[in-house]
Amino acid sequence: MKTFSIIIWIDILSVLCNTNLTNDEKEHMDLLKEYSKVTNVRDINGNFTTDDFTINTNLTTVEKDKLKISFLSSVSIGQGMGKFYAGAYYRAIEDIKRNSSILPNYTIETHFQDTANNYLKALNDMTHLYVKGTTGFIGPEGICSHAAIMAASWNLPMLGYMAVMRCHDSSTTEPDIYHDRERRTFVRIQPSTSKVSKSIISLIQHYKWKIITMIVGSSPVWNKTADSLSILARERGIAITQIESFKEPYSVMVHGKQTNENNSKMRRLLDKTFQHTRIYVFLGDYHALIDFVRAMHAKPETNTGEYVVISADQKPYFPGSDNKYFLRQPYETELKERHIKAFHPLMLLAPRAATSPEWGEFLDDVRKRNTKSPINLPVFPGNLNTEQQVPIFAAYLYDAVRIYIDAIEEVLRLNGSISNGSAVVGVMRDRTYRSIQGYDFYIDSYGDSEGNYSLLRLTETDDKLSLRPVGVYQMNATGHKIPSFIEERKVEWLLGYTPKDQPDCGFDGEKCLYQIDWRIATICSVVVAAMLVAGGFVLRHYLYEQKLAKLLWKIEYKDLMLVDSVEEVLPHTRPLKENHRTSRSFFPALNTKHFEPFNGVQKHRNCKRRSLSSLKYLIGPEEPERTTLLGVTKPTKKNSVSYEKKVLIGSYKGTVVSIKQIFKKNVDINRTLKKQLQLRKELNNDNVNRFIGACVETPHLFVITQYCARGSLFDILQNADLNLDDMFIASLVADLIKGMIFIHESELQYHGNLKSSNCLVDSRWVLQVSDFGLQQLIGNTTQHKSDSFYNCEGLLWTAPELLRNKYNSNYGTPKGDIYSFAIIMYEIHGRLGPWGRTDFAPKEIIHRVKMGEDPPYRPNTNLLMCEEYISTCIHDCWNEDPEQRPDFKFIKYRLKPMHQGLKANIFDNMLAIMEKYANNLEEVVAQRTQQLSEEKKMTENLLFRMLPRSVANQLRNGEMVEPEHYECASVYFSDIVGFTSLSAESTPMQVIDMLNDLYTCFDSIIGHYDVYKVETIGDAYMVVSGLPIRNGNNHAGEIASMSLHLLSAIKSFRIKHRPDDTLKLRIGIHSGPCVAGVVGLKMPRYTLFGDTINTASRMETTGIPLKIHCSKECKDILDILDGYHLSERGYVNMKGKGEKFTYFLESEDAIIRRKRITMMSVYSYHDRRSNLEIDHATFPNYFDNYLVNGTNHKHCNGFVKHIDPTNAHDLKHFIDTKEQNGNLVNSVPCSPCDNSCKPPTFTLRPPPTTPVLETMPLMNVKWQLNNAGYVGPDVEDVL
């Protein structure tokens, strides 16, 4: 419910007015404050009350079946113009009432207020009408800035029909966010002058003019029109070469005499602009327009018929009113021929004249109504036959009422509220309406009306020149586009044809002069000379270009396919048995920020609702993998370097490939890029990762390379479980050196981004160098590398000279590769990352390396377990002076001793490496198997916390979890009264601590009852009993007893940070049918559905603090169970439920509950054949299934035994317990139908409030029950 303080608004309006109030205005202000003297006391309906009157603050409540419309206008004598057109309002109301199909269920009630042309009184009157419960305002006239704010604050619609003063200012016309909030319930019916820009653009486009000049007055309305026109012109390719302005207000009188000063200003503007334009758009005062066209007529250069002036007038066109267009009235009265001829170049847009055949009758009716109450326009005897002129605002007022009523009907049709002003105004906006004037007009999305204009042109009629309409505009359906100009009659041009927007040779004759472009001539000469000199080279170059044009490296996007694993591409490696169908999909459209669409969005595109067949659905693919058979996949050390998985596995024509996405909006496939891609395609070496191709179909930008099963060297070094001996290291280093020698000797000459993550290892343990040679394609995909912490990690291998030059760092140098090789060598032998153990962050390391310290900052090699010649080689390779670093051939020579352990046969080396890897893998598998078992237990424990055990077991077994209907269950809802205010007064951490303590207390209590906790949301707590394991009618008793227990506990609960406060729990319980099932794949929830849940929630929300609100359905079950004391509350109105009779649960008889729970304890009946288990709820029902002649029977393999399970004596004889082999067994012999069957075993288990009793000796059973606090005669008989 929204409330409104009138006193606060009075202060706001005083500030907004920012003016000295007159005595009369102060009286209105005081009167408004008198209506605001209300106290903050509310009655039962939520109203502010005083001793004298009541002001309803429920903005959404309107008197039933009454539509109250408030009309505000100034009709006082000498105050405003309302008395000349206000009768249109009552004409509109009468037309609406006359049509019985309009609002048949509503009575229209009108309220009129005379504002006396005083804006403070108008605001005061609006407040009066708001207090009386009005549903909308028509008016007030003349102002709407402050009135629109007030109407918006009340959420009431306001329709302005006359805005002469304050509706053109920025506060109500600018379509920005702040002012849109102020005028969210405001609509202006009077057309906005600034909207004429659309009609002007339509006219310009109709005559295909492309160059214009604008002359604009300084008033805000014309400046806004000019801004709008500039935007529309720019969008449509219309050039505005000049924009000149003049000062407004524009006056032709100085000290009561006419002056030519302003006329001379128009001449100066014309002299300044006429040489570079032919089409003028004049936006300004109409007297200034007259002076401008007269100046153009007087100037010989412009009085040629080649110039056109387009302008707009705010006054509607009326036939026979030529004098008002040609003369500067009231200062000129004599019309001369030169005044008329000056209008030859003018194309004037004026509001369209009325075309409706009923227009004359409408004006006559308005005149009559103006003379009646409450308008009371006086009629003097001498002027009885004089026809009073009716302003055009009468049409706007009539249209405002009809539009408002149409909007009300639309809102009611949509089941909305007529007092919701934003909804009512919402249906008015962005629509086209038919005016009483006979044509359409459009209200845009900001509530401004766009007028319908006519084009006036000087036309000769009956040998007389006059302004006549030559064209009209047709509004489109939505109004978003410009209106279409329709030429109704041919325009009479002085030259006989439409003037051009510029001369044929241009304004300066530039189009008729021929100039030699020496730049083009020079380029052509150079090209011809080059072709003559390099004639022999042309053929070779042509063949090379042909090869580039074939795009041998290009891969079609449709040929790429994403796979989950290599087994999907290589069928012979797929396991024989699969738990579920492996899915494949084509690449989806990728997001340029993440790779998540590859992780299953497209894979499950066509999947329907399925059961959670295994635990893998409960852990999403985005969760970090803890361990693998190869060890920890992500480093946990403080200074280790981590990388996102940027490369995906895919399939290209049946071959496993690696796919890397390029993050660019688009790629320019120029010759340089083609050369790079072609060169990279042709580079083939055993130690260079093969480049298969690239996909450059925007936005699908990918680089496809050879797939390496072992991952990168970085991953191998980070795997602590993989032992790398000297032979492993020597083989990897040798492969790296061979690959780099091949790259340096190729046309590329350098790698530029050498690091351990770009050194890939295939399935044969052969190292291959990758990620090079495509700088133009891959480079500049993000900001500079040193700009972020993450990118600093990738620069740890970069040479210092490249770090100092951010432009070269994207390409690299051969000596820079040598430095990177040294860091990789240190990384291989140290196994602690590229910089080992260091206390510096990557960004700090990069900074120190870039600064060039003395001695240079490098990793510490003292702890490396390697030969001295290796350490020396590393130091030489990362020398600060690039020229002092050795090349790779010399490095190969210096590291030759490392290869002494390697065999000459490459195949023998590969077998030896694979054998060592297999031996190491056996040890790792055993460790990972144990870790996997522990993780499985942790997952199962987490699953049992999230879902009921029976449901979780179904998921573990791969069974379908179908939604199940329960005939009757009891639901508990509770929340904390005043939790919102308590949270507002506490810190977030205090709120969390309080809720944690409270729910820990609750969770410990509900563990003693046969209930299931569904969820907690904020301060709401939801518990259910009777599902997923049914317990007969016992669910109501469990919920009732638990509620009493929780209510008792909350009274003694203390808040840590507010020990003096006590939480007030509000509880609601209800019993009834419902459906339960598991919903969702991510974060699956065991959720309840049905009207029972809604009713239980309503019981809680309509409850009383520290009371247990119980429904009649739950009370009936508690009466059957007996032992619960309830009191009547009476009928309670519940949302969506109507009146319901409810009760309060007061207390329970604990002894009766103990007897019931003990006798209904769980009996586990184990039958060898059926393996049947019967709990404390189904045990009696199980016997009921064998009812014969009113007597219960127990069936055992064909043997029938008469028993009464509710009678302790019969139960004693049925069980006939005795100690046999230390167990409690039945002495009744089994059926002769099966000699091998054994007597059934009964295990007596007490309720959840007592210790669990497994099958045990007789005396132990008795001792456990007595120790649990219960000794009953029935139990004694049984025992």
Domain map of the chain by residue range? 6-190+359-450, 193-315+317-351+452-487, 518-549, 558-570+615-634+645-907, 948-1148, 1155-1278
Q: CB neighbours of 1004 closer than 8 A, spacing ≥ 6?
A: none
pTM above 0.95, yes or no: no
| DSSP H/E element including 801 | helix 800-804
Round to whole Å and give the CA distance between 676 and 548: 10
pLDDT tens across 846-888, in order?
Answer: 999 998 888 899 998 888 888 899 999 999 999 999 999 999 9
Q: Which residues of the chain have pLDDT under 70?
A: 1-64, 77-79, 143, 163-182, 253-262, 320-323, 380-387, 477-480, 513-516, 564-646, 780-791, 806-810, 901-920, 1159-1279
Structure tokens at 1089: 């559905």
Cα separation values, 961 from 11, 619, 761, 1076, 1178, Å: 64, 18, 45, 10, 22
Structure tokens at 351: 């509001």
Q: Find the angle CA(525)-CA(527)-CA(531) to the nearest 5 degrees.
A: 120
> What is the pLDDT, as a whole number, of residue 666?
81
Nearest to 390 by CA among 607, 81, 687, 141: 81
6-190+359-450 and 193-315+317-351+452-487 in the same fold: yes
Under CATH, domain 6-190+359-450 is a member of which superfamily? Answer: Response regulator (3.40.50.2300)
Q: Is the Cα dihedral 197, 198, 199, 202 positive or negative?
A: positive
The count of C-alpha atoms lying within 13 angstroms of the C-alpha of 982, restricted to the half-sphere facing its C-beta, is 23
Round to whole Å and give the CA distance between 795 and 792: 5
Structure tokens at 712: 């990168």
Round to whole Å and give the CA distance between 984 and 986: 6
Nearest to 780 by CA among 658, 668, 649: 668
Whether 628 contacts 925, CB under 8 Å: no
Q: Is the Cα dihedral 492, 498, 499, 504 positive or negative?
A: negative
Q: CB neighbours of 332 closer than 8 A, spacing ≥ 6?
A: none
> What is the pLDDT, as a whole number, of residue 270?
92
As a whole number of angstroms, the longest Cα–Cα distance in the chain is 135
Residue appearing with tokens 């993989």: 722
For 193-315+317-351+452-487, CATH number out of 3.30.43.10, 3.40.50.300, 3.40.50.2300, 3.30.450.80 equals: 3.40.50.2300
Structure tokens at 690: 């093969």
> What is the pLDDT, as a whole number, of residue 511?
79
> What is the pLDDT, as a whole number, of residue 1246?
39
Three-state SS letters, 523-583: HHHHHHHHHHHCHHHHHHHHHHHHHHHCCCCECCHHHEEECCCHHHCCHHHCCCCCCCCCC
Percent of the chain with pLDDT over 90: 32
For 558-570+615-634+645-907, CATH number out of 2.70.40.10, 3.30.540.10, 1.10.510.10, 3.40.50.300 equals: 1.10.510.10
pLDDT tens across 495-529, in order?
Answer: 889 999 999 888 887 777 666 678 888 898 888 88
Cα separation values, 1120 from 1114, 1162, 1255, Å: 10, 21, 32
pLDDT tens across 1166-1210, in order?
Answer: 333 233 333 333 333 333 333 333 333 333 333 333 344 444 444
For 948-1148, CATH number out of 3.30.70.1230, 3.40.50.300, 3.90.1150.10, 3.40.50.970 equals: 3.30.70.1230
DSSP at 194: G
Please state the φ and ψ torsions of residue 1165, each to the nearest 5 degrees: -100, 115
pLDDT tens across 616-644, in order?
Answer: 333 333 333 333 333 333 443 434 444 44
| Strands of the sheet with 186-188, listed across from one edge | 107-114, 66-73, 136-138, 158-160, 186-188
Residue appearing with tokens 């996007």: 557
